[in-house]
């Protein structure tokens, strides 16, 4: 009996192993091979341009110096002295850190709230337009600023705000007021930057939400009309819940960029951040750029950039964790 039992066990184990092999063979088929081959260029791109450069992160922990003899960057980096967290300490205790942190976070919070509200509201309005041709025209007009470079936008802004011949100052003086020195008055620029960011990005967000609204089952609206629901009630109980997953996903992704800023918006449109606007419009990205242009040690600049990356990763994970606790179905990780 014991030998039969042993043979049965051995046979069952062999059968299980063969079953697993067959299962694995079934899981990987020709379609999987084709999809893998299609993904190879993207994988190589990320490997070469996203992951291999991460080796340079160690420069944030080094006192980078050029070794005599004309050696390569990697040789100089590996033979530079370790600074530990000295570069980070210098950045944290600098006079600009608190100001940069406040500006970066507050601007991004304002951008997220206002841009999301405008995008959702615009998508709801466009989805209710009966003239579909007019709706497409409006979509195109609103989406066009998204493709414009901040360099181009900065010239429009300068034409409006230049103190001598700006259009806004022309209107103000025509109405009997005094011209405003826009590039010297920092109190106006938080509103200008929020407006420009909303104007340039609302078309992109609007198209995303409009595509989500278009995918809602129309029979839900027909049933709501038969039950006597008003247009406002249809939007509240059908449209908004239907676009909630997209809204939450966009919110999580935006939270991942809360420690970053649009360099073109803050640097180009302000005319290179003049000294009069420095404390109002400076962010981490503009600080890093100006530090690279100056004689600051590159290790300290790398430490500031690395701090940004760590905080961005932490915020997107935190936002996803909060969403998973509130509504687990809409988390993205």
What DSSP string runs through 221-283? HHHHHHTT--HHHHIIIIIHHHHHHHHHHHHHHHHTTTT---HIIIIITTTS--GGGHHHH--
How far is the first Cα of the chain from the last one, in angstroms, to the nearest whole number?
Answer: 52
Contact between 104 and 284 under an 8 Å Cβ cutoff? The reply is yes
Find the radius of gyration of the CA atoms of the chain: 28
Tell me the pLDDT of the chain (333 aa) as tens digits: 454 455 445 555 555 555 555 555 567 787 888 889 999 999 999 999 988 888 888 889 988 888 787 788 888 888 888 988 888 988 898 888 999 999 999 999 999 999 999 999 999 988 888 787 887 888 888 888 999 999 999 999 999 998 888 899 889 888 888 888 999 999 999 999 999 999 999 889 898 998 889 888 889 998 998 988 888 899 999 999 999 999 999 999 999 889 999 999 999 999 899 999 999 999 999 999 998 888 888 888 899 999 999 999 999 999 999 999 988 888 887
* CA distance linking residue 114 with residue 161, whole number of Å: 23
CA atoms lying within 13 Å on the CB side of residue 305: 18
């Amino acid at each position: 009996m014991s030998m039969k039992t042993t043979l049965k066990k051995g046979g069952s184990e062999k059968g299980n192993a063969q079953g697993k092999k067959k299962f694995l063979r079934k899981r990987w088929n020709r379609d999987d091979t084709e999809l893998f081959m299609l993904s190879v260029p993207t994988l190589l791109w990320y490997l070469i341009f996203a992951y291999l450069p991460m080796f340079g992160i160690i420069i944030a922990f080094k006192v980078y110096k050029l070794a005599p003899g004309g050696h390569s960057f990697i040789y100089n980096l590996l033979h530079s002295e370790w600074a530990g967290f000295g570069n980070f300490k210098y950045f944290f205790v600098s006079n600009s850190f608190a100001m940069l942190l406040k500006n970066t976070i507050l601007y991004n919070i304002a951008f997220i709230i206002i841009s999301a509200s405008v995008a959702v509201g615009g998508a709801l309005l466009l989805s209710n337009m009966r003239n579909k041709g007019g709706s497409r025209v409006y979509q195109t007009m609103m989406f066009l600023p998204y493709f414009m470079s901040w360099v181009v936008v900065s010239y429009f802004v300068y034409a409006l705000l230049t103190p001598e011949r700006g259009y806004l100052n022309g209107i103000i003086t025509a109405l009997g007021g005094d011209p405003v020195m826009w590039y010297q008055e920092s109190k106006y620029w938080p509103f200008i930057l929020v407006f420009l960011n909303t104007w340039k990005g609302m078309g992109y967000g609007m198209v995303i939400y409009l595509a989500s609204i278009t995918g809602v089952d129309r029979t839900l609206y027909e049933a709501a009309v038969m039950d006597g629901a008003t247009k406002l009630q249809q939007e509240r109980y059908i449209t908004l819940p239907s676009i909630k997953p997209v809204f939450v996903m966009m919110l999580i992704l935006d939270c991942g960029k809360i420690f970053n800023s649009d360099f073109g918006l803050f640097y180009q449109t302000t005319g290179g951040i003049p000294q009069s606007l420095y404390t109002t419009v400076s962010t981490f990205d503009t600080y890093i750029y100006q530090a690279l242009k100056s004689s600051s040690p590159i290790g300290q600049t790398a430490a500031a950039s690395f701090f940004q990356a760590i905080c961005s990763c932490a915020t997107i994970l935190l936002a996803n964790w909060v969403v998973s606790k509130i509504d687990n179905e809409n988390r993205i990780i």
